[in-house]
Amino acid sequence: MTLTVNDLRVHYRTLRGEVRALDGVGFDLADGEILGLAGESGCGKTTLGKSLIRLDGRMRHAGGTVTLDGDELPLSDDRAMNAYRFHKISLVPQYSMSALNPTRRIGRMIRELLASRGVSVDTGELHRRLALVGLDPDVLERYPIELSGGMKQRAVMVISTLLDPSVLIADEVTSALDVSNQQAVVGALRGLRDKGLVTSMIFVTHDLGLTSHIADSIMVMYAGKLAEKAPTKVLTTEPRHPYTKMLIGSLPQVGARYKDKPLSGIEGSPPSLLNPPAGCRFRDRCPLADSRCAEEPPVVEVAPRHSVACWKAA
């Protein structure tokens, strides 16, 4: 088992109170597994990814544990987490296009970053990895501004995985790309896993169609909580949670590319996470809701490796 997340709660401190962006999420990530993480904007995908690597100043670890290869991660101890960052757990951020220092040549930035982590650069290996994502070694001599968006994205992918992390979090790496670039990036990510450069991966997206191309299993989140998690095949063909069903139902055919539509095709909007209502958070939009849904549905394993949080799923 690479990664075990147990009842993780992470809140944002704001002037109006705490935003409960991650409100009790638990799941496992096996060795070699690519987990697709889907859900509409604001459901807490980025928050989950950030929680696993670095809480920013506004985030508070409000409860739960994360275990990586047997060690419990010291999430709220910024200093102690450093030992895990980059080496064990790494991130391709949602903002990859602007993740590189604009005034440093990329090669030099990589050298300085690695030196600061006490690692020296193996130039041959670096070139091989660039080739793996389709980049020429001469990008190392360029400034970020001289690269296209897709190239920057891939450069960041290479940098983030240089130390062969156990877990890579790829946050919306395909959102800003056109279709052909999306395929290339997804292919490159799978290549990294297949070659063992990255043990396991969390692939964050709001594009379910794309996720099913790359992920072994898919986890759907709703308003800071887990809605459903299952192997890709199962989740896309026999979803149990009404929310997942609506997501899948809005796809013309599973795996079809459907721009932006999939997760916005459902009427209504998720509840505020500042003071979320009790009970099932999907209640307002759920066609199956009844009086029992005023109570919060527990996450239940309805079949092996298939968990759902819905009273009507069992």
Partner 1 sequence: MRRYFARKLLIYALTFVAAVTVNWMIPRFMPGDPVAAMVARARVSQPEAAEAMRSYYNNLFGFDEPLWQQYLHFWGALLQGDFGISIFVFPTPVGDVLLDALPYTLGLMIPSVLLSWFVGNWIGALSARRKVLDNTVLPVGYLLTAMPYMWIAVILAWAFGANAGWFPISGGYSLDITPGWSTAFVLDALHHWVLPFLSLFLVALGGWAIGMRNMIIYELESDYSSYLAALGAPQRLIRRYAFRNAVLPQVTGLALQLGVLVAGALVTEIVFAYPGLGSLILASIQNQDFFLLQGAFLFIVIGVLIANFLIDIVYVVVDPRTRTGMAGGTS
Ligand X SMILES: Nc1ncnc2c1ncn2[C@@H]1O[C@H](COP(=O)(O)OP(=O)(O)OP(=O)(O)O)[C@@H](O)[C@H]1O
Least distance in angstroms from the C-beta of 145 to ligand SF4? 47
Binding ligand X (rule: CB under 6 A), the pick from 45, 152, 281, 306 is: 45
Number of separate helices (H) and strands (E) present in the chain: 9, 12
Which one, 76 or 312, has the nearer CB to ligand X?
76
Assess contact for 110 and 141: CB atoms under 8 A.
no
Residue 103, φ and ψ in degrees, nearest 5: -105, 15
Residues of this chain that interact with ligand SF4 (CB under 6 A) are 242, 280, 282-283, 286, 288-289, 293, 297, 310-312
46 contacts which partner out of Mg ion, partner 1, ligand SF4, none, CB within 5 to 8 A by kind?
Mg ion
24 closest CA partner among 218, 309, 311: 309
Which one, 38 or 106, has the nearer CB to Mg ion?
38
The vertex-261 CA angle with 256 and 262, nearest 5°, equals 60
Instruction: Tell me, residue by residue from 132 to 171, as one string, x for binding to ligand X by CB under 6 A and - for no binding.
Output: ----------------------------------------
- Cα 110 from Cα 206, distance rounded (Å): 30
Stretch that binds Mg ion, among 46-54, 67-75, 107-115, 195-203 (CB under 5 A): 46-54
Instruction: Tell me, residue by residue from 4 to 23, as one string, x for binding to ligand X by CB under 6 A and - for no binding.
Output: --------x-x----x-x--
* Site for ligand X contains 42 (CB under 6 A): yes
223 closest CA partner among 272, 275, 291, 263: 272
- Cα 35 from Cα 245, distance rounded (Å): 19
- Strands, sheet with 17-29, edge to edge from the N-terminal-most edge strand: 17-29, 3-14, 59-68, 71-72
Assess contact for 171 and 189: CB atoms under 8 A.
no
Instruction: Tell me, residue by residue from 175 to 194, as one string, x for binding to partner 1 by CB under 8 A and - for no binding.
Output: --------------------
Stretch that binds partner 1, among 17-25, 96-104, 256-264, 305-313 (CB under 8 A): 96-104
* Site for ligand X contains 41 (CB under 6 A): yes
2 contacts which partner out of ligand X, ligand SF4, partner 1, none, CB within 5 to 8 A by kind?
none
Assess contact for 276 and 224: CB atoms under 8 A.
yes
Stretch that binds partner 1, among 99-107, 175-183, 220-228, 301-309 (CB under 8 A): 99-107
Assess contact for 49 and 204: CB atoms under 8 A.
yes
Query: What does the binding site for Mg ion look like in residue numbers (CB under 5 A)?
Result: 45-46, 94
